[in-house]
Amino acid sequence: MKTPTEQSILEATWQAPAGPIGWLKTVNQTNIGKRYIVTAFVFFLLAGVLALLMRIQLSSPENNFLSPKVYNQIFTVHGITMMFLFAIPILEGIAIYLVPLMIGTRDLCFPRLSAYSYFVYLIGGVFLWVTFLMGHGPDAGWFNYVPLASKEFSTGIGIDIYVTVITFIEISALATALELIATILKFRTPGMTLARIPPFVWSILIMSFMVVFAMPGVIVGSLLLALDRLIQTSFFVHQNGGDPLLWQHLFWWFGHPDVYIAFIPATGIVSSIIPTFCGRPLYGHKAVISSIVLIGVISFGLWVHHMFATGIPLHASSFFSAASALIAIPSGIQIFCWVATIWLGKPIFKTAFLFCLGFIATFLLGGLTGFMIAIVPFDLQVHDSYFIVAHLHYVLIGGVLFPIMAGFYYWWPKFTGKMLSERFGKLSFWLIFIGFHLTFFPMHRLGFLGMPRRIYTYFEELNWTDLNLLSSIGSYILGFGFFLTLINAIRSYFKGKVSGDNPWGGTTLEWATKSPAPSCNFYYFPRVENLNPLVDQQPLPKAVDGVRNDIREVITTHIETAEPHAVIELPGPTIWPFWTAVFSAIAFIGSIFHPFWFVVGFFLTFIGVTGWLWVRKPWN
């Protein structure tokens, strides 16, 4: 260990600037990560409120609580917020915070890019919600099918806002993904070979590669749609030789992997938590990693299963049907490994672990219904019915949100240095678990009874009333469960018990430093000798000497062997990523109202990037 003075120099070097202007200048990964998590959680609560409003509307037949116009905006904004403003950003936020800690480095490799991607995300999300609350929300669903979303059938600015927000999130997600890939491959602490990367970091690496391959689909799609709407090109207009199905292909090329982009990091969280609470390493580490790689690859061959009802040829649908069923194999292997870890260990039932168990049970059901709808004739009956609503919420809440909640309870001490109340946590878990199944299980049957998705009302004769009421009651129990966790977090933040550095006995590097992590993450670069360095490597040996304290220096290592390569200096705080984000917002948001703003924003962005990259004189 270094002497306290050296530590304080190091901390001062990496310290984020203070004050409101300093807030805009901050580039540290721990700060940006926390901002992502808090912002995404706020969006989650907002979208959750929308879901509760929809459940009031559907709780009785021919209800007049919401008008169809408002209902359509609500379900659209609910979908967009949950997918684009919550699921992906919160996982990116967790990754931004934890990945450098887990691989033993001091920051992400492009700190200013993380600040930029956060501001872009924030502006995009706030813009969507402000316009929605002013009554201009998009109303063609998060999938935004043309021609309904074309200028002819959606004349307002709602769809333009959709296209803009999607573009924002694409930029933000792509920037973060590239940064995470580069960081994971080049910034691992000496000794952390590929085989010693923790499962969560692996899952983030795969997620990031998936983002890089999937996002271009929707980037092209939303660009073409923007052109169709703004300057009357006809990419999707069949009268002029375009094709409405092209949008569906482009959208689902992204949209299906998107589900796995959220799901894979979630399994990474589960693979980090289960071993800790079972008191032993993850069973079948290699099998788990291979499985998530496989899921990542296969998920790009499934997109047409969203389009079985469009009348595609039998051979094509057979291929996508088989590919969709195939995903059961790697998922099954992962579940096997988690169950095996539990068998081999001695489980301790903390809240985070309960959420993992809730995840296994719920995701399993969602996966099984997913297998059912891979079978084409069955899918043609339940497609776009409430059976699908049930299925997708089992997969996304069970498969993604439960792990996020587990991660929240598990890493909260890491983020804040405080403990959450276990009593509140367990109560919250049971309310969420029971509320969830009460809300979504009846929807399977509603689908069987012929209830289509996205309808704002229904007639009593259709026999859907009781199940809808049950579902609505469940949704309030579910909502209350999340509310309890919110209370728990606020309480803990102000007067929670101090947690200590490693309250759960975690074995990966993020627990090797102080909780909450100091500005520099680690006081020295540790040398990692195995997969769980904290088990038999205490205290962690120092890997290298001579990294400077007074500037933001980090070491880079070899991609495969993680032997030290070079020392590089990371850029420090600056206001320019913020301005660049504002300028790109002027370009994209302005173009909704007049194409002129795009030109203005373009040149302003150019100035922003120049300021961002301005070379400082070395003696400063």
Partner 1 sequence: MLKIFIFLFFSTLASCSGVQSIFTPATEETKNIVTIWWVLFGVCLFVFLTVITLLLIGLFRNASINEDKNLLKYLYIATTLTVILLIGTLVLSHQLSPRQNDANKGSPPSFKVEITGFQWWWRIRYFTMNNELLFETANEITIPKEVNVRFELLAGDVIHSFWVPKLAGKIDMIPGRVNTLNIRALEEGIFRGQCAEFCGVQHANMSFSVHVVSASQFKSWKNHQMKPAVSAKRYSRGRRIFAEAGCIKCHSIRNEFERAEIKAPDLTHLGSRKTLAALSLPNNLGHLSAWVTDPQNIKPGNLMPASKLNSKDLLSLLEYLESLK
Minimum distance of partner 1 from residue 380's CB (angstroms): 3
284 vs 572, which CB is nearer to partner 1?
A: 284
Residues in the chain: 620
CA–CA dist 477, 434 (Å, integer): 8
123 vs 302, which CB is nearer to partner 1?
A: 302
Minimum distance of partner 1 from residue 301's CB (angstroms): 15
Q: Where are the alpha helices (DSSP H) in 496-532?
A: none
317 vs 580, which CB is nearer to partner 1?
A: 317
Minimum distance of partner 1 from residue 125's CB (angstroms): 23
Minimum distance of partner 1 from residue 284's CB (angstroms): 7
361 vs 490, which CB is nearer to partner 1?
A: 361
154 vs 513, which CB is nearer to partner 1?
A: 154
Residue 187 near residue 553, CB atoms below 8 Å: no
Minimum distance of partner 1 from residue 338's CB (angstroms): 8
132 vs 523, which CB is nearer to partner 1?
A: 132
Instruction: Using the CB atoms, write b or e for 478-507: b if 16+ within 10 Å.
Output: bbebbebbeebbeebeeebeebeebbbebb
318 vs 610, which CB is nearer to partner 1?
A: 318
Minimum distance of partner 1 from residue 64's CB (angstroms): 10
Ramachandran sector of residue 19 (left: φ over 0; alpha: ψ -120 to 50; beta: rest):
left
Minimum distance of partner 1 from residue 214's CB (angstroms): 23
Minimum distance of partner 1 from residue 385's CB (angstroms): 7
Minimum distance of partner 1 from residue 451's CB (angstroms): 8
- Between the alpha carbon of residue 335 and those of residues 1, 361, 363, 462, the distances in Å are 41, 10, 10, 39
Residue 351 near residue 425, CB atoms below 8 Å: yes
CA–CA dist 480, 228 (Å, integer): 43
336 vs 483, which CB is nearer to partner 1?
A: 336
Minimum distance of partner 1 from residue 161's CB (angstroms): 18
Collapsed DSSP state (helix, strand, coil) of residue 554: strand
Residue 314 near residue 356, CB atoms below 8 Å: no
Residue 497 phi, psi dihedral angles, 5° rounding: -70, 140
Instruction: Using the CB atoms, write b or e for 365-379: b if 16+ within 10 Å.
Output: bbbebbeebbebeeb
Minimum distance of partner 1 from residue 247's CB (angstroms): 10
DSSP secondary structure string, 288-337?
A: HHHHHHHHHHHGGG-GGGG-GGG---HHHHHHHHHHHHHTHHHHHHHHHH
Residue 443 near residue 386, CB atoms below 8 Å: yes
Residue 417 near residue 498, CB atoms below 8 Å: yes
11 vs 422, which CB is nearer to partner 1?
A: 422
5 vs 64, which CB is nearer to partner 1?
A: 64
140 vs 205, which CB is nearer to partner 1?
A: 140
Contacts 24+ apart (CB under 8 A), 547-551: 549/6, 549/9, 549/10, 549/13, 550/9, 550/13, 551/13
- Between the alpha carbon of residue 275 and those of residues 151, 183, 461, the distances in Å are 53, 25, 51
- Between the alpha carbon of residue 414 and those of residues 20, 99, 353, 611, the distances in Å are 25, 13, 16, 34
Minimum distance of partner 1 from residue 404's CB (angstroms): 21
Token digits for 488?
């728990």
DSSP secondary structure string, 236-255?
A: T-GGGT--HHHHHHHHHHHH
Side chain identity, residue 1: M
Specify the DSSP element, H or E, that contains 414: helix 402-416
Specify the DSSP element, H or E, that contains 268: helix 244-278
Minimum distance of partner 1 from residue 54's CB (angstroms): 13
245 vs 544, which CB is nearer to partner 1?
A: 245
93 vs 284, which CB is nearer to partner 1?
A: 284
Minimum distance of partner 1 from residue 424's CB (angstroms): 19
126 vs 287, which CB is nearer to partner 1?
A: 287
CA–CA dist 67, 270 (Å, integer): 41
Token digits for 12?
């001062």
Minimum distance of partner 1 from residue 450's CB (angstroms): 3
Q: Give which of 379, 184, 208 is closest to 293, Cα–Cα.
A: 208
345 vs 533, which CB is nearer to partner 1?
A: 345
Collapsed DSSP state (helix, strand, coil) of residue 452: strand
